[in-house]
Structure 1
Amino acid sequence: MSDTSLLQVKNLSVSIDNELPILHKISLDIKPGETHVLMGPNGAGKSTLGYSLMGNPHYCVTEGNIIFDGQDITDISADKRAKAGMFLSFQNPHEIPGISLSSFIRNSFHAQTGAPVKLMAFQKSLKSAMEVLSMDESYADRDLNVGFSGGEKKKAEILQLLMLNPKLAILDETDSGLDVDAVRTVSKGIQEYQKKKDGALLIITHSTKILEALHVDYTHVLVKGKLVCTGDGSLVDEINANGFEKFISEAE
Structure 2
Amino acid sequence: MSTLEIKNLHVNVETNDGPKQILKGATLTINSGEIHAVMGPNGSGKSTLAYAIAGHPKYEVTEGEILLDGENVLEMSVDERARAGLFLAMQYPVEVPGVTVSNFLRTAKTAIDGEAPALRTWVKDVNAAMEKLRMDPVFAQRDVNSGFSGGEKKRHEILQMELLKPKFAVLDETDSGLDVDALRIVAEGVNRVHTETNAGFLLITHYTRVLQYIKPDFVHVFVAGRVAEEGGPELADRLEAEGYDKYVAAAV
User: After TM superposition, is the score higher than 0.5?
Assistant: yes
- Structure 2 matches for 1:1-252, cutoff 5 A? 2=1, 6-17=3-14, 19-252=19-252
Once the two structures are overlaid, the 10-residue window that deviates more, 15-24 or 32-41, is 15-24
Runs of 4+ in 1 over 6 A off after TM superposition: none
Range with greater deviation from structure 2 (193-202 or 24-33)? 193-202
Question: Take 2:186 and 2:92, find their aligned partners in 1: how far apart are those partners?
Answer: 15
Residues 32 and 197, structure 1, Cα contact 8 Å, conserved in 2: no
SS in 2 for 1:140: helix
Task: Provide the rounded CA distance (Å) in 1 between the counterparts of 2:233 and 2:169.
Answer: 18
Under a length normalisation based on structure 2, what TM-score does the superposition of the two structures give? 0.95
Equivalents in 2 of 1:128, 1:208: separation in Å?
A: 30
How many residues align structurally? 249
Identity %: 45
Amino acid at match of 1:53: I
Q: 2:27·2:226 contact (CA, 8 Å) conserved in 1?
A: no
Q: How much has 1:238 moved relative to structure 2?
A: 1.1
Contact 1:183 1:209 survives alignment (8 Å): no
CA RMSD after TM alignment: 1.2
Q: Distance in 1 between matches of 2:70 and 2:199?
A: 15
Displacement after TM superposition at 1:72 (Å): 0.8
Distance 1:153 1:116 in 2: 25
Shift of 1:214: 1.5
- How far apart in 1 are the matches of 2:244 and 2:88? 25
Q: TM-score, normalised by structure 1?
A: 0.95
Partner Cα distance (1:188, 1:135) in 2: 14
Distance apart, 1:197 and its partner CA: 4.8
User: What SS does the aligned partner of 1:247 have?
Assistant: helix
Question: What SS is found at the alignment partner of 1:74?
Answer: helix
- Separation of aligned partners in 2, 1:251 and 1:70: 31
State the AA in 2 paired with 1:115. E
Structure 2: distance between partners of 1:43 and 1:137: 38
1:16-66 deviations in Å (ceiling 9; x for gaps): 138211101111111111111111001111000000011111111111111
Distance 2:100 2:149 in 1: 16
Distance 1:150 1:162 in 2: 19
**For residue 195 of structure 1, what is the amino acid of its counterpart?**
T
User: 2:189 and 2:246 mapped to 1: Cα distance?
Assistant: 33
SS of equivalent to 1:158: helix
The AA in structure 2 aligned to 1:97 is: P
